[in-house]
Structure 1
Amino acid sequence: METGDQKLGAEYALIERIARAAQSIAPPSMEAGLVVGIGDDSAVLRVGQRHLLWTADMLIEGVHFRLDWTDAYALGWKSLAVNLSDIAAMGGTPLASLLMLSLPPERTGEWLDEFIRGFLECARAYSTALIGGDTNRAASAEGPTVIDVSVLGVIEGLPVRRQGGRPGDWLLVTGSLGGPRAGLMRLLNHDRSDTEALQAHFMPCPRLHEGKFLRQHGAHAMMDLSDGLASDLLKLTHASQCGAQVLRAQLPVHAAALRWCRETGEDPALFALAGGEDYELLLAAPPQIAQTLLEECPHQTGTPLTHIGYLTESEEILLQDELGNLTPLFVEGWSHF
């Protein structure tokens, strides 16, 4: 039988190992101000009466992106957007960013100008200053290009964490699922016919307004969906020490994912569950609060919110079909290791 850590995968185990090592050297002054450390969407530091959020993400050519697929502008936008999604998951507001680049010489001219234009367009859209960073030459003329971004945010009050879920909470998700994966599948099949799918894949929109609204109105637990709903739900239930029951018929499948599944014969619900880079928000809230959120979130933020299941006392994650039958949910999603 797999342990919880084994189900979460090698990447989770690696992060846990680093976290244990880091705890052994944390100075007392840091421990006093550290509210959330390694393992959540953002670190949280208490500074006076405020809480600062600090997150970072690295994008590596050949692992996270291909330059024969994406243009520099879209890559610049996405490099910042994925970090802002972590701030959204805590219910915070971004303040500033640092940008670190490792580039081959051929990408220091027009390509870099377009990358920075995309990065700054995203920064402008979400009121995030670019205040510094670092640049280095890539290991060879062929690359790889490496993009490392760090974002600092702020929150009034306490952040929403992954560990706050309780049995009986409703599971809700913003927006729709599977669109970015549909874009990826199109690209893998040399098909650029679905511009909506490609847009979803290349230029995610972090749910910052939604994250603040959901935090302020009673979400118990929240995280962003970067690795796919099935995989990320496992992280939330593990942190909250409970299980989940997912309602298959209520999963909000993206229109581009539905088109892809009609063409290929794939199951839309399973396709959406195993997607990645949705950058929607998954949250848990008590039933009465959840019902209010379902009504108010679309009006206040313009983004739909869908009830997709429940947290349970069991440690299992189960998928309920239209007839009420329950089957274990096979966890499939993105992992680096």
Structure 2
Amino acid sequence: MRRPFSYGNIGGEVCQKERALSLRLKDLGEFGLIQRIQEGCLVKPERVLQGIGDDAAVLHAGGDHLLLASTDMLVEGIHFTLETATPFEIGYKAVAVNISDIAAMGGIPLEILISVGLYPDQEVEFVDELYRGMKTCCRLYGVNIIGGDTVASPRAVIVNVAILGRVEAGAVLYRSTARPGDVILVTGDLGASAAGLDILLNPKPVDAEVAARLRKRHFRPTPRVEETRAAVEAGGLTAADDISDGLAREIKEIASASGVGALLYGEQIPISPDVREAAAAYGKDPLDYALFGGEDFELLWTCRPEAVEEIRRAVAARCGTPVTVIGEIVPAAEGVNLRYQGCRRPLLKGGYTHFAQP
């Protein structure tokens, strides 16, 4: 038995608890932790339409628009290593992943605040390149850097971005509004970021041009802001999420939030030739990259069946980005399943989660 420890002296008596009974973060997991801290967070709930639990918070802003707010953190050793990523790439990605959250809500990104933790002996050129990456992404999407914080971090480089955006009151997209009968759509193609990460961490013989394209997909994702705006204007979208932790996890998030089930069509999930080549080199099914890899930052949408072709046409006309039908929303009792190679089976959880057991 582990030695008991004290939580403090309460009313003159020491409160003892066995360490063996303590709940650890690795047992709770990232999403369990989020659920645990949600209670009591809203002191003035009348100001908030959506708090914790979606890609961004949704706040009343007056007039015809709503304010969107989100934040994401990149930590050395978790999201990147200095051996495989340039400071430009780190900075660019830190901004892009936040813009993607605003896109997932149907919104337009506006301003960001940046907080960085840096080694005290970090070269100034590193910081210049880090911010050059951030500013490059900001220019592409019309985003202002309006403030932030800088601190010493002796053990890891940390980059945290907080973003503000706006969306018309009638256009905001949530994870919780999918309905049975909806069609599941995805922008672009999936699996490239995970394949690029494999190439970075465990190089194998892959064509140099293919490897370069996959590396770029990992470090320089394309937030689908204009795609969302085109789809919203076309009408018929019912729910949305961006694919940060893998398609399998994101469709489960939509299903859980909406109280529905889902069926994915494995053969219809879009996978590029580059990903297929990398999968062959690593002895993997390319569908594993698409379902469980994560960090593609494509958008996962649900829509009414009659809206599919108009959404696809509108997005192609404005952006040239393909939109693919990859499944359907079904009643909750049917669960979340994958139909692949003639079999229908429960979709494995998969995807990345912080604090998970190794």
CA–CA distance in 2 between the matches of 1:205 and 1:151?
A: 16
1:205 shift after superposition: 1.1
Aligned to 1:329: 347
Q: Aligned to 1:185, what secondary structure does the other structure show? A: helix
1:197 shift after superposition: 0.7
Aligned to 1:33: 47
Aligned to 1:169: 182
Aligned to 2:336: 317
CA–CA distance in 2 between the matches of 1:111 and 1:314?
A: 50
Cα deviation per residue 1:33-87 (whole Å; 9 max; x = unaligned)? 2111101000011111120000000111111110100001111100100000000
| Contact 1:179/1:255 (8 A) holds in 2 | no
Tell me the matched-pair count: 320
Aligned to 1:234: 252
Q: Aligned to 2:226, what secondary structure does the other structure show? A: helix
Q: Aligned to 1:115, what secondary structure does the other structure show? A: helix
**Whose Rg is larger?**
2
Which letter does structure 1 place at the counterpart of 2:346? P
Aligned to 2:165: 153
Cα deviation per residue 1:195-235 (whole Å; 9 max; x = unaligned)? 01100111111111112222232210001000000011100
CA–CA distance in 1 between the matches of 2:54 and 2:82?
A: 30
Cα deviation per residue 1:133-175 (whole Å; 9 max; x = unaligned)? 000111x2xx301111000001122310001100010000000
Q: Aligned to 1:105, what secondary structure does the other structure show? A: coil
Whether 1:78 and 2:93 are equivalent positions in the alignment is yes
Whether 1:256 and 2:274 are equivalent positions in the alignment is yes
Q: Aligned to 2:186, what secondary structure does the other structure show? A: strand
Aligned to 2:83: 68
| Equivalent residue in structure 2 for 1:208, among 198, 205, 225 | 225
Which letter does structure 2 place at the counterpart of 1:251? I
Aligned to 1:180: 193
CA–CA distance in 1 between the matches of 2:282 and 2:91?
A: 32
CA–CA distance in 2 between the matches of 1:187 and 1:94?
A: 30
1:110 shift after superposition: 0.4
Aligned CA-pair RMSD: 1.4
Q: Aligned to 1:220, what secondary structure does the other structure show? A: strand
CA–CA distance in 2 between the matches of 1:232 and 1:72?
A: 29
| Equivalent residue in structure 1 for 2:30, among 5, 8, 11 | 11
Which letter does structure 2 place at the counterpart of 1:70? A
| Contact 2:238/2:301 (8 A) holds in 1 | yes
Cα deviation per residue 1:2-39 (whole Å; 9 max; x = unaligned)? xxxxxxx721111111111313xx13xxx222111101
| Equivalent residue in structure 2 for 1:88, among 79, 103, 109 | 103
CA–CA distance in 1 between the matches of 2:110 and 2:212?
A: 32
1:322 shift after superposition: 4.2
Identify which range, 292-301 or 268-277, moves more after superposition. 292-301
* Structure 2 spans left out of the alignment, 5+ residues: 1-27
* Structure 1 spans left out of the alignment, 5+ residues: 1-8
Task: Tell me the TM-score normalised to structure 1 length.
Answer: 0.92
Aligned to 1:112: 127
Q: Aligned to 1:311, what secondary structure does the other structure show? A: strand
Task: Tell me the TM-score normalised to structure 2 length.
Answer: 0.86
CA–CA distance in 1 between the matches of 2:280 and 2:123?
A: 42
Identify which range, 74-83 or 254-263, moves more after superposition. 254-263
Aligned to 1:244: 262
Q: Aligned to 1:22, what secondary structure does the other structure show? A: coil
